[in-house]
Amino acid sequence: MQKRELRFREDGTFVIAQFTDTEFIDGYDADPDSPALDAATRRTMETVIETERPDLIVFTGDVIASARARDPLDSFRRAVAAAEESGIPWAAVFGNHDSEGDISRRRMHEAQLEHACCVAEPDPPGVSGAGNFVLTVLDGQGEPAAALYLLDSGDYSPLANVGGYDWIRRDQIDWYVRESETFAANNGGAPLPSLAFFHIPLPEYEEVWRKTVCLGHHFEGCSSPRLNSGFFAAMCERGDVMGTFVGHDHANDYSGSLRGIQLCYGRATKYVSYVGSELRNHFQTGARIIRLQAGERRFETWIRQSDGTIAELPEHQPNQALAKMGE
């Protein structure tokens, strides 16, 4: 099967729709609300696709709730069906809920590669996780003009004395650096404008909220790994990644710039949050939209909501004392 190319449009733009935490479940789940939630999630994706007509769709993890699924692969196929049936290129990375059930992350990655419209790549050898790959967006001359890194941020800490969530491993960071250096070498030594997509937010996501002006909501804690493996430092050193895009914390949808990198949450696509056992949506579900411009180191981003409108996001002012400490 020939892989589909990603290209900037004639007007120089390239639009990405980020769906996150869709958490589809097959029809065997005992929760009577599950079919209605999955149907509403699909309608949200269809609304976003119809309204934005993106050039690429990226699922940033927790594509399914595998622990509640009898047939996780069926759940995965249902989760990505709106993207696949639209004919728009798409790709997915995985979150902590994707591999809690009777399926491995590696098998899940193999499953996405079986779809005709999926543009994900097989895993590079010797790199931790499943679903680490880089996509290039070509300019009018057929040359790479942007790179999109998709990484597996894992699920739960493998270290009992650490606990919490997993982290992007050193061999993944080394792989990113090698790819970044190769792109720069082929670009006259200049870093290729890039974005990165993964599920679990880096520890710097909490720092950007505390120290800088952000747009959006912070209704729950930032569930980052308890260890900082240095991926943010590597991106700063390379100077190519303009923004990162995550999910995981359903009631957060903010973005802010830290040391030249825009750290962005997606908008949860299935539901926003649980408070105890109560489902409570603080705002509409939806998707984050990203628009790149060929030849420029910048992007625009906004939230397209389930009713088709663009979200009005509040401006958050930082803690001035903490911001001063970070200077």
pLDDT exceeds cutoff 70 at 309: yes
What is the CB-side half-sphere exposure of residue 13 using CA atoms within 13 A? 13
pLDDT value of position 30: 59
Q: Which domains does the chain have, with CATH numbers?
A: 6-325 (3.60.21.10)
Token pair in block for residue 148: 């999109």
pLDDT value of position 185: 98
pLDDT value of position 280: 61
Strand, coil or helix: 197: strand
- Mean pLDDT for the stretch of residues 142-171: 95
**How would residue 300 be classed by pLDDT, with cut points 50, 70 and 90?**
very high
pLDDT exceeds cutoff 80 at 287: yes
Amino acid (one-letter) located at 110: E
Token pair in block for residue 316: 């958050």
Q: Find out whether 43 and 19 touch, Cβ atoms under 8 Å.
A: no
pLDDT value of position 306: 95
Q: Which residues contact 186 (CB under 8 A, 6 or more apart)?
A: 144
Phi, psi at 140, each rounded to 5°:
-65, -20
- The H or E element containing residue 208 is helix 204-211
Q: How far apart are CA 269 and CA 62, in angstroms?
A: 11
pLDDT value of position 231: 98
- Mean pLDDT for the stretch of residues 253-279: 84
Q: Find out whether 272 and 251 touch, Cβ atoms under 8 Å.
A: yes
